[in-house]
Amino acid sequence: MKFTEEHEWMRIEDDLVVVGITAHASEQLGEIVFVELPDAGTTVSKDDEAVVIESVKAASDILAPLDGEIVEVNGALEDEPGKINEDATGDGWIFKMKIEDMSAMDDYMSEAEYNEFIA
């Protein structure tokens, strides 16, 4: 897994990159009550707003960590946004994207680097 300074995680599954927010981010947000998902087929550029997450504390924009196409979204979050709080790096994934250059993930932090970053 790789991590961004914006508290997103990325994991490669087959030829796709799965994206979500970290457990640390979900703890900071508090109880998540709504997730506005993008449409599958949406092309995004790095740092484009891709998702809006609303919690009891605030609304937060989730930015696309890479250039690519969002090919699948976690539709379960529409009815159960709290899955992000319960299992941020598992069932709480947000979207999957197809990217041209997997080496772009090399620019991000490892889990150990991320844990140091949030310490």
pLDDT in tens, 64-76: 999 999 999 999 9
pLDDT tens figures, 105-114: 999 999 999 9
Q: What does DSSP say about strands 16-21 and 8-13: parallel, antiparallel, or unpaired?
A: antiparallel
- Alpha carbon distance 100, 77 (integer Å): 27
Q: pLDDT above 70 covers what percent of the chain?
A: 100
- Alpha carbon distance 49, 61 (integer Å): 6
Chosen CATH of 2-101 out of 3.30.70.270, 2.40.50.100, 2.60.40.3500, 3.30.360.10: 2.40.50.100
* Whole-structure pTM value: 0.95
Position 13 scores a pLDDT of 95
Mean pLDDT, all residues of the chain: 96
